[in-house]
Amino acid sequence: MSGKKAGARDGRNGWSSRSVGSKFQHGIFYFLIRFGGRRGAYGLLYLVAAWYATFSKVARERCRPYLTRRFGDRGLTMRWRERYGLIVSLGKALIDRAVVGILGPESMTVEFTGGEELLAIKNEGKGLIVMMSHVGLWQAAMSALGNLESPVHMLMRREDGDIDRHYYEHAGIERPYNLIEPGGFLGGAVEMVDVLKRGEILSVMGDRVLGEESNTVTVDFLGAPAPFPVSAYRLAASTGAPIAVVFSRKTGPDSYKLELAEVIRVTGVKGRGAEIFKPFLLRYVDALEGYARKYPFQFFNFFQMWKN
Amino acid sequence: MDTKTKLKQVLIDELNLEDLTPADIKDDDQLFGEGLGLDSLDAVELVVQIQKHFGVEIKDMEEGREAFASIATLAAYIEEKSG
């Protein structure tokens, strides 16, 4: 099992997004994809997922917060089934990501509803903040952003020593987007403003705290208080850039769908502090909770999101 | 009004530092952390407002790191770029 990206090594409880699999274990999957295709890798995944769901303490701990919030307290058997289902779904997403890099982009189809609306918003010339989440396969969303004919920048931290590879690394091509390091000076604020002033696209994760805890607002998510980052809303307010909330989900063995769930325009904010962005944050959180309720096994935020 | 005083007024007005006047802010006060206590959320607004009020763009992170050290360094940066 691999933790998802954009991790926060300095996050709560010393959580790390680094993959729990070894380089050798990843290599076996890459070998199977190359010589057995997606189905070959999926076959092994079912066995590996069963092992992790049963014996891995790390997997249990990473799955527990979300499964408990989403499904409530369960008996051992039901909780095992949910954990297994979640690990299999994550594994498929990671395999699909590798498949695109190893076997080529034609091995996966991505349908995007709302693409024309997104293009129109981008063409307003104020830049565009694309807010993604740890659901489905966010790399699929990144591939669709390429159709907007504008440079894409992503606020993302990659942990040292993580051996989980991105699709472009498999394909041996240049990374199709520029990375902005959230641990940099002022959380990358100077770079992000510059990107939006140029009318380009900035992609951020809306569901995980990467930088200063003070730049968060706590709201209820799946029935319990959880802090969410608000830097993107500050950027939107200062630059006039709209926020497009985009979710991806797996719809078939080799297909994904992207949906433009919300367009948030942050206007009329006055005062100081993170709380002034709460009304805008709530629109995102409501959309994310709706997604988690509708597609519970495509929600892959293994970060301890909740305060308790 | 000199650049430092104008900068202090911009900070107060645009970052809603309601209880302060330009006289309360020392030239060598740090902008972030101790001193004025601004954070990275404020930095976003500050970059935008400096362009709006002084016509100076801060694009480079390393330049920004030096410029954002204090009121005095930021005023010097603005004067250098706008001069």
Minimum CA–CA partner of B59 in chain A: A194
Claim to verify: residue A20 and residue A116 sit in the same structural domain: no
Kindly provide the residue ranges of all beta strands, DSSP E only, lying in A114-210, ordered along the sequence. 128-132, 152-155, 178-180, 201-205
Claim to verify: residue A129 and residue A254 sit in the same structural domain: yes
Domain ranges of chain B: 3-82
Does the beta-carbon distance from B40 to A235 stay under 8 Å?
A: no
- The residue assigned the tokens 């307010």 is A237
pLDDT, mean of residues A239-246: 96
- Identify all chain B residues contacting A280, using CB atoms and an 8 Å cutoff: none
pTM for the structure as a whole: 0.87
Claim to verify: residue A17 and residue A147 sit in the same structural domain: no
Range of the domain at A161: 108-298
Which of left, alpha, beta for A137 (phi over 0: left; psi -120 to 50: alpha)? beta
- Identify all chain B residues contacting A237, using CB atoms and an 8 Å cutoff: 45
Q: Which residues 204-263 in chain A show a CB within 8 A of chain B?
A: 211-212, 214-215, 230-231, 234-235, 237-239
Q: pLDDT tens for residues A59-89? A: 999 999 999 999 999 999 999 999 999 999 9
Any domain includes A307: no
Q: Which of A88, A103, A118 is the last residue of a domain?
A: A103
B2: closest CA of chain A, how far (Å) = 25
Asked if residues A47 and A35 have their Cβ atoms less than 8 Å apart, the reply is no
| Residue B52 vs residue A308, higher pLDDT | B52
Query: How much is the pLDDT for A7?
Result: 38
Claim to verify: residue A67 and residue A185 sit in the same structural domain: no
Claim to verify: residue A82 and residue A188 sit in the same structural domain: no
Claim to verify: residue A251 and residue A280 sit in the same structural domain: yes
Any domain includes A125: yes
Any domain includes A7: no
A147: closest CA of chain B, how far (Å) = 26
Claim to verify: residue A57 and residue A193 sit in the same structural domain: no
Q: Which of A78, A103, A128 is the last residue of a domain?
A: A103
Q: Which fold has domain B3-82?
A: 1.10.1200
Q: Nearest-CA neighbor of A294 among A119, A135, A127? A: A135
Q: Nearest-CA neighbor of A192 among A146, A239, A160? A: A239
- The residue assigned the tokens 């990375």 is A179
- Out of A194, A211, A270, the one facing B40 most closely (by C-beta) is A211
Phi, psi of A197 (to 5 degrees): -65, -25
Claim to verify: residue A47 and residue A143 sit in the same structural domain: no
Any domain includes A98: yes
Q: Nearest-CA neighbor of A221 among A159, A297, A301? A: A301
The DSSP annotation for A262-302 comes to EEE---S--SSSGGGGHHHHHHHHHHHHHHHHHSGGGB---
- Out of B45, B57, B61, the one facing A191 most closely (by C-beta) is B61
Report the mean per-residue pLDDT for chain A.
Answer: 86
User: Residue A35: CB partners within 8 Å, gap ≥ 6?
Assistant: none
Per the annotation, the verdict on B39 as an active-site residue is yes
Q: pLDDT tens for residues B21-65? A: 999 999 999 998 788 888 888 888 898 999 999 999 887 777 778
Does the beta-carbon distance from A193 to B47 stay under 8 Å?
A: yes
Claim to verify: residue A254 and residue A114 sit in the same structural domain: yes
Whether residue B47 lies within 8 A of chain A, CB to CB, comes out as: yes
Claim to verify: residue A40 and residue A65 sit in the same structural domain: yes
Catalytic-role residue among B13, B27, B39, B42: B39
Claim to verify: residue A155 and residue A283 sit in the same structural domain: yes
User: Residue A163: CB partners within 8 Å, gap ≥ 6?
Assistant: A19, A21, A22, A23, A26
Q: pLDDT tens for residues A117-129? A: 999 999 999 999 9
Q: Which of A103, A131, A160 is the last residue of a domain?
A: A103
Range of lowest pLDDT (A161-170, A190-199, A206-215): A161-170
Any domain includes A240: yes
Any domain includes A5: no
- Identify all chain B residues contacting A184, using CB atoms and an 8 Å cutoff: 61
pLDDT at A13 over 60: no
Claim to verify: residue A187 and residue A266 sit in the same structural domain: yes
- Out of A188, A192, A271, the one facing B16 most closely (by C-beta) is A271
Phi, psi of A179 (to 5 degrees): -90, 135
Instruction: Pull the structure tokens for residue A111.
Output: 């349908």
The whole-angstrom separation of Cα A77 and Cα A56 is 16
Domains identified in chain A, total number: 2
